[in-house]
Every structure is written in C-alpha cells, then in structure tokens.
Amino acid sequence: MLEVSNLSAGYGQIEVLHGLSFEVRKGQVVTLIGSNGAGKTTTMRALSGMIRPRAGSIRLNGREVGGLDSHDVARSGLAHSPEGRRVFATLSVEDNLTLGAFPRLTGSRPKGDVAADRDRAFELFPRLKERREQLAGTLSGGEQQMLAMGRALMLRPEILLLDEPSMGLAPKLVEEVFRIIRRLKDEQVTMLLVEQFAMAALGVADHAYVLENGHIRFQGPAAQLRNDPAVRAAYLGGSH
Ligand SMILES: Nc1ncnc2c1ncn2[C@@H]1O[C@H](COP(=O)(O)OP(=O)(O)OP(=O)(O)O)[C@@H](O)[C@H]1O
Ligand SMILES: [Mg+2]
C-alpha cells in the first residue's frame, strides 16, 4: 500500500532524512517514534508533498507519488493531518470538513456521498457537530485538532497520516483521540501515526519504526518494541 524507499528530504541546504525505507500495509497502523527533531514531521511532510523529496521513492498502491504536488498526492488518497492546527480559520467547521473531501471529487477515485461522510465525522466528533456553524479559528485548540483529523478523514483516505493528533490536549481529550484512532483501526483505516505519547502509540500500532537523526534505527512489531528495555530507555522515557 505505502512503500517508501531511500527517501531523503530536508530544508534548504540541510538534509534531514537520509534514505528512509519503510512500509505501511493495507489496514495496518504503523507508528514512527523518535526524539524531538528526529525527522518525524519532515517524513510526514515529504510523504504528503508539503516538501519535495530529494531522492527515493514513495509508492501508494503501486503508483509513484514522490515529487507530486500536495493536492495531487491528496487526490491519490493520502490524507495528512499535520502537526499543529492547520484549519481554515475563517471558514466554518462544516466548510472545513467539506473542503477535506474536495480532492476526492476532482480525482479519479470514487466520489461517494460527502454529506453522509460529514455526518459520520460529526458522529465521531460530537463537539464539532455542536459547533458546525462556528468559524474554525474560534475553536479551542483541542477542537481545532479534532477538526484537522475530521477533515483528513473526509478524503476517505487510502492512508491517513496523523502527526501528533493529541498535541496540546487535556488528558481526557488525549484519551478520546486514542479511542477514535482505535475505532478507525477497527474500521480498517490504514494509518501512519506520530505521537508524543509513544507508549500509547505502540499500544495501538501493529508495527513501529524508530527514527534517529533521519535514519531508521530499529523496526519491529509494535508490541515487541514496547517491551524492549533498550527502546524504552532510549525513546519512551518510561511515560505512558
Ligand atoms: N521548516 C524548516 N526549516 C528548516 N529546518 C526545519 C524545518 N522544519 C524542521 N526543521 C529541522 O528538521 C529537523 C527535524 O525536524 P522535525 O520537525 O521533522 O522533527 P520531529 O521528529 O517531528 O520532532 P518533534 O518531536 O519535536 O515534532 C530538526 O532539526 C528541525 O529543526
Ligand atoms: Mg514533529
């Protein structure tokens, strides 16, 4: 489904990712873990076309998407819920969700029923339903984070990239986000997940890759990494 090989990317003169190879199979949840600055967000950006890879290949369902513009990557079915809250501040919650479906309407993928999917997003995120008319910029941080996730889901993605979906959320909302991730997993949504709560991410993931200074240092079944004392000591800080 998603096959990344020898991916290099960076900013200006600086190369951050030095030839990463990994894969996410259909229906799997894969987590990327690593310390601050390891290159997790940069990986997500390179996959979604926010930055252009310098080398390597990114194949989605067998088709090369590396180097495509982000809207063309989205059209091919890759949805990115980016780090931080990137919602359209001056549009309503409802319009933000509708826009999330836009790339699928202009591409060759099945168009489906946008209104039904919006209702489904409201069912997953009842808070958003209560605030459907509200301008996204006036939502709380946690609500904006949920909107970013809901909007990404509106693509009916082949793969969903979640970069720190629980960032800045109160503990109760963190739990809610993980509950939603589990529910999506039960529905066979393929996901690549980056989370500050690495133990929780390993708890939901099937497979994990540990990123260190732009290289993959370890990989394995998530349950195995979760119990590996060296991994725990180095990357998980014993928390969660
Ligand atoms: N827009 C940018 N311009 C220049 N350098 C950047 C930019 N964004 C990130 N970097 C650098 O790239 C490296 C990797 O950053 P990245 O954001 O990918 O890390 P991360 O693993 O997501 O970290 P965190 O856990 O803190 O989110 C860092 O050294 C960072 O300073
Ligand atoms: Mg990051």
Q: What is the pLDDT of residue 191?
A: 98
Q: What is the pLDDT of residue 237?
A: 60
Q: pLDDT by residue (tens digit) across 82-107?
A: 987 789 999 999 999 999 999 988 87
Q: How far is the CA of 24 from the centre of ligand 2 (A)?
A: 19
Q: What is the pLDDT of residue 238?
A: 46
Q: What is the pLDDT of residue 232?
A: 82
Q: What is the pLDDT of residue 239?
A: 47
Residue spans of the domains in the chain: they are 1-77+158-171+189-240, 86-157
Q: Supply the residue whose CA is at minimum distance from atom 25 of ligand 1.
A: 36
Nearest-atom index, ligand 1, CA of 214 = 14
- The CATH number of the structural domain formed by 1-77+158-171+189-240 is 3.40.50.300
The reply to whether ligand 1 has any atom less than 6 angstroms from the CB of 11 is: yes
Q: Supply the residue whose CA is at minimum distance from atom 2 of ligand 1.
A: 11
Q: How far is the CA of 194 from the centre of ligand 2 (A)?
A: 8
Question: How would you class 61 by CB atoms within 10 Å of its CB: exposed for 0-12, middle for 13-18, buried for 19 or more?
Answer: middle
Q: Which of 170, 164, 161, 194 is nearest to 58 (CA)?
A: 161
The reply to whether ligand 1 has any atom less than 6 angstroms from the CB of 163 is: no
Low-confidence ranges of the chain (pLDDT < 70): 236-240
